[in-house]
Structures are given as C-alpha cells and as structure tokens.
Structure 1
Amino acid sequence: MTDPQEYRSAVARFATGVTVVTVPGRHPHAMTANAVASVSLEPPTLLVCLEQDARVHDAALEEGRLGVSVLAADQQPVAAWLATRGRPSLGQLDRVPHHSGPVLGVPLVDGALATFECEVVAAHPVATHTVVVAEVRGVGGDAPAADPLLWFASAYRGLSPG
C-alpha cells in the first residue's frame, strides 16, 4: 500500500497551473483549483477535479455550468483567498475583480491569462473528488503576455528566467 505522505510528496513535484473555478447563481461560488486539464479539441472539453466536500462541488453539479480562469503570476492573492478553508460562503468574489462571461454568464476573474465558460456534461466520483467533464462554450482572456501562476512543491511559483 502506498504511504499517503510519500504520495503527497511525490505529487508536489508535479508543477501545475493555478485556476479559479466559479459557479454562477444567486450566491456565486468560487475556489482555487490546480487539477484542471484539457481533454479534447473536438468538441473543446476540459476536466476539473472538485473535492466532494467543497461548496463549489454541489453548486457546479446543480447549476450545470462553470467558469475556469487561468491565473497570472500577479494573481497569487486571488488564489490564496479562494483556497482559504472556512472563508464565508456568501460574497466569496466580493474582493476578487471579476465579470460575467458573455456566453454562459459565469463569473470569470479579470486579468486572467485565459477563461473558459463551460457546460457540465459528465461527473465521475473518484475517492474524495469528482472528476467533472465540461464542454467549453466560450473562451477568452485578458493578459496573454503575463507569466502564469504555478503550484509546485506545495507553494505558489512563477516561471524562472531562462
């Protein structure tokens, strides 16, 4: 059996981009996520892994649509806030500059490198998370020349000059 701490240490060596997943509604939900991946170009499809205990989990499945904003390096405070456990459930986006997407009306983070407006097409529970598969209905972004925000070795990072 694999030791959980050994697994956690090994997974921390896999650098990922940092995103914010948002769900619209009367009280929008948002969370920082790094388990996001492109699945297909035809049709354009993403997958997002959501912890089943997270507020955004049930909201995304009930609403059937979500936004994904790929964060730039200077947006680390946004990532840190939306990764804070126990933050108030109401007004999560009050301190985050954002706008409604033009296609599905999902909240999207201003200044993100890329944004995706998605419709949920499948959900697969796996252990403590659900793999949500979503077709992309709209793509955008505000800061194509900025460096990305990365997650590596359990810390936020930027690109090294190279």
Structure 2
Amino acid sequence: MDPRAYRKVVGRFATGVTIVTTRVGDVDHAMTVNSFTSVSLDPLLVLFCAEKVARFHDAVLEAGAWGVSVLPASMEDASRFFAHRGRPLDGQLARWAHHRGESGVALFDGALATVECTTKSVYDGGDHSIVVGQVTALGTPGDGPPLLYHEGRYNSF
C-alpha cells in the first residue's frame, strides 16, 4: 500500500483537535493530537496515540499522568504551535492561558473540555504507542465551535 494514498483516505475522516499535556519534574510537555477518543464508560477510559520518536512519547510514559484539552476553533494557533517538532520546552505554555489540573498537568483555559488521566495501559501501534488512560477529572471551561481537522486542513462548523 502507498502511504500517501493511505493518508489521503484516512484524512477524509474529520477529527477534533486536542492538546495533550504532561509534566515530568517541573518541565511541561505538550503535543497536538487528533487521535484522541473515548474508549469505555465503565471504567472511564480514553486513549490517544503518540509517535514513538516524538519527545512527548517518552515524557508521557515516564509521567504516568496526562491531560487533554479539546480545542475550540479560536485556538488553531495553539494547535499549530504544539504540532511543531523541536520547539523549546521552556516557556512554551506562556502564550495561552492555562491552569494546573488536579494531577498537576497544564490544561488550557479556553478549551471546550478537559480530561485528566492516569496511564492504565500502553499498546504497540506500529510507529505509535496507543496510550490508554483512566479518567481522573473532567471539565468544561469554554464554549464555542470545535476545531476540526479534515483532509490536511483545519476547519470548524
């Protein structure tokens, strides 16, 4: 199979956009993720996929706790920023209002929804790891149309 054809086909599935955050020591890590989904209601489980070569991958596995901020259309700039590889970690959250959740991870104040998790399981997913988390806290800090990603472009309702 041609990887370009595969990306074109799966890109036709519109997804929401999130930023997943974690904290190792006193260093915040964050990454734009559109592979976030609900898994189970009993127990409450969600998952996201992290590319194994990404700096975030090792940080989230080491930390064991992470947060998800579901982005509104107004936060496309944040999504683009946290999708960029190799950016400096120091001060990376300073441009966007955020707060610490119950687990100590950063959550964006403008998010449509927030979810905090502890890692329950990690599965091999080829060049990604599938990280399953037990939900420990929830929030709905903001409102507005969601940020969507479809066919390689940002969109909203």
TM-superposition CA deviations, 1:11-63 (whole Å, max 9, x none): 11110000000002311100100000000011111001001111111111111
Q: Is the 8 A contact 1:111 1:141 kept in 2?
A: no
Q: Which amino acid aligns with 2:117?
A: C
Q: Which amino acid aligns with 2:121?
A: A
Segments of structure 2 that go 5 or more residues without pairing to the other structure are none
Q: Is the 8 A contact 2:51 2:127 kept in 1?
A: yes
Find the counterpart in structure 2 of residue 116 from structure 1: 115
Q: Is the 8 A contact 1:27 1:91 kept in 2?
A: no
Find the counterpart in structure 1 of residue 7 from structure 2: 8
TM-score, normalised by the number of residues in structure 2 = 0.96
Give the match's secondary structure for 2:27. coil
TM-superposition CA deviations, 1:65-124 (whole Å, max 9, x none): 0000000010101101101122113322122221101x2121101110000010001111
Q: Does 1:91 align with 2:96?
A: no
Please identify which structure carries the higher strand content: 2
Listed as ranges, the matches of 1:2-151 within 5 Å are 2-25=1-24, 26-101=26-101, 103-144=102-143, 146-151=144-149
Query: Take 1:121 and 1:56, find their aligned partners in 2: how far apart are those partners?
Result: 17
Q: Is the 8 A contact 2:19 2:30 kept in 1?
A: yes
Query: Take 2:91 and 2:59, find their aligned partners in 1: how far apart are those partners?
Result: 15
TM-score, normalised by the number of residues in structure 1 = 0.93
- Report percent identity of matched pairs: 47
Q: Which amino acid aligns with 1:100?
A: R
Segments of structure 1 that go 5 or more residues without pairing to the other structure are none
Query: RMSD between aligned alpha carbons?
Result: 1.0
Q: Is the 8 A contact 2:32 2:82 kept in 1?
A: yes
How many residue pairs get aligned? The number is 156
Q: Which amino acid aligns with 1:107?
A: A
